[in-house]
Amino acid sequence: MIMVEYALLFIVLAPFVGGLVAGVDRKLTARMQGRVGPPLLQPFYDVGKLFQKEQIVVTPSQHFYILSYLVFIVASGALFFAGGDLLLVIFAFTLAHIFLVLGAYSSYSPYSFIGAERELIQIIAYEPMIILAAVGMYMVTKSFFVWEIMASSLPLILYLPGVFLGFLMVLTIKLRKSPFDLSTSHHAHQEIVKGVTTEFSGPMLARVEIAHWYENVFLLGFIYLFFAWNPVYGIIAIIVAYLLEILIDNTFSRGTWKFTLKSAWIIAGMMGLVNLGVLYYLSGVVPV
């Protein structure tokens, strides 16, 4: 059953949760580097400041693309939390990022262009694995609807360990963490000026940031689906996965785009495919 109230809760609460998660991220990152780090609410201060700044418009179409990016990220997340069709969620999610790429391409800046190209490579890299995750959930629960996957009493993680590990790998790309933060990095360490966000300033950059918070909450919700049979394990899995991502972010240097593509397709993709193959062969043996 589609639950609209959860979608509304997501739309209202996700920016606060996403911003807090970003604050914890920055604090932990600083501690790992032996620094004190910014206040917990620093991401909110940053976005508040960006809304007070002058907006330099390079091309008017930027407005449309960035607003579409935000709207489609929110729509895909809302659809996910409402219990909608997982495939539709993934397509809306991909479309949102295409808008970000178009926004970066709309200005004639070489830095923005390289960022957009790299963002496209990242989409190419993570997309198959996210589809595989949805297919794996379908194979176990016989449904693409999030609410049916949530209602399933089967422990998905035991059926889909390879898919889960593969998903964690592409999650590193999605959360813009090293070694896969090619197109832009949310840390101060610079990547070809600022990659895909180079030409966005002031309120426009704030919208990109807020969209990223929504996106992170949606992705953490996706982790929860693997553990939906037991909410306690689900929460623990989200926390452990995010801490792991912060650790990876601080231990690895940035890789090349080829390394990203190979990691996402050959390693993560193979883990997912082998997992699905085994599941197919055992379909007569295990209760699916």
Taking CB under 8 A as the binding criterion, the range among 46-54, 75-83, 239-247, 252-260 that sits at the site for another protein is 46-54
Query: Interface residues for another protein in 228-247 (CB under 8 A)?
Result: none
CA angle 150-266-157, nearest 5°? 20
Q: Which residues of 56-67 are buried (b: 16+ CB within 10 A; e: fewer)?
A: eebeeebbebbe
Closer Cβ to another protein, 128 or 202, answer by number: 202
Per CB under 8 A, 46 contacts another protein: yes
CB of 183 to another protein, least distance (A): 14
- E strands within 84-202? none
CB of 181 to another protein, least distance (A): 14
DSSP code string of 231-284 = HHHHHHHHHHHHHHHHHHHHH-----HHHHHHIIIIIIHHHHHHHHHHHHHGGG
CB of 193 to another protein, least distance (A): 5
> How far is the C-alpha of 215 from the C-alpha of 221, rounded, in Å?
10
**Do 261 and 255 contact (CB within 8 A), yes or no?**
no
Closer Cβ to another protein, 63 or 262, answer by number: 63
* Residue 187-216 contact track with another protein, rule CB under 8 A, x = bound: -x-x--xx--xxxxxx--x-----------
Q: What are phi and psi of 85, to 5 degrees?
A: -70, 125
CB of 119 to another protein, least distance (A): 16
Q: Provide the binding-site residues for another protein, judged by CB under 8 A.
A: 26, 30, 33-39, 42, 44-46, 48-49, 52-56, 188, 190, 193-194, 197-202, 205
